[in-house]
Amino acid sequence: MLNRLILMRHAKSSWADGSLTDHDRPLNSRGKRAAEAVGKALNARGHAPDIIWASDSKRTRETALLLIRAVPGAQAIEYLSGFYHASAHNVIEICDQRGEASAPLMLLGHNPGWAELHHYFTDQYVDYPTGACTVLNRINDGHWLSPGAWQLIDFIKPRELE
């Protein structure tokens, strides 16, 4: 049974190269620092994921790779094209089709879907900036995608780590 679910929006991306598609935009230097800082914070707080399901955009790929560098041990990353700019509803459908993970899982993607996911699981509306990370612990054995199965235990914003 999955006991920890982490939601993370990709770190800050670059707009420097106007010829790139949105899907191909990389992280900027601030985003790279933020991804590493969030990874270190998750590890230090005992919230590090074992599995990451991420959008397949360049900025989410880079965020995931930088994040796991800060976390010791083996982690698995799976890139899902369906997460690219998905709504919370679409993310829930994709996750339901994939089935419940057996180890701490991070869902890594884009706004507005990830802000919607935060609201879905916590019933709280918050500013969800780039690099923001919601950490949820399982509080009952209900369906793993039911909002009532989770409790918010941490909310990390990269600017608070600087």
Residue ranges per structural domain of the chain: 4-161
Contact by Cβ (8 Å): 27, 13: yes
DSSP tag of 157: -
| Letter string b/e over residues 15-34, b meaning 16 or more CB atoms within 10 A of that residue's CB | eeeeeeeeeebbbbebbbbb
What pLDDT does 5 receive?
A: 98
What pLDDT does 74 receive?
A: 66
What pLDDT does 48 receive?
A: 93
First to last CA, the chain: 34
Neighbours of 160 (CB within 10 A): 10
Is pLDDT at 68 greater than 80 in this prediction? yes
Q: Which pLDDT band, with edges at 50, 70 and 90, does 126 fall under?
A: very high
* Topology adopted by domain 4-161: Rossmann fold (3.40.50)
Contact by Cβ (8 Å): 12, 27: yes
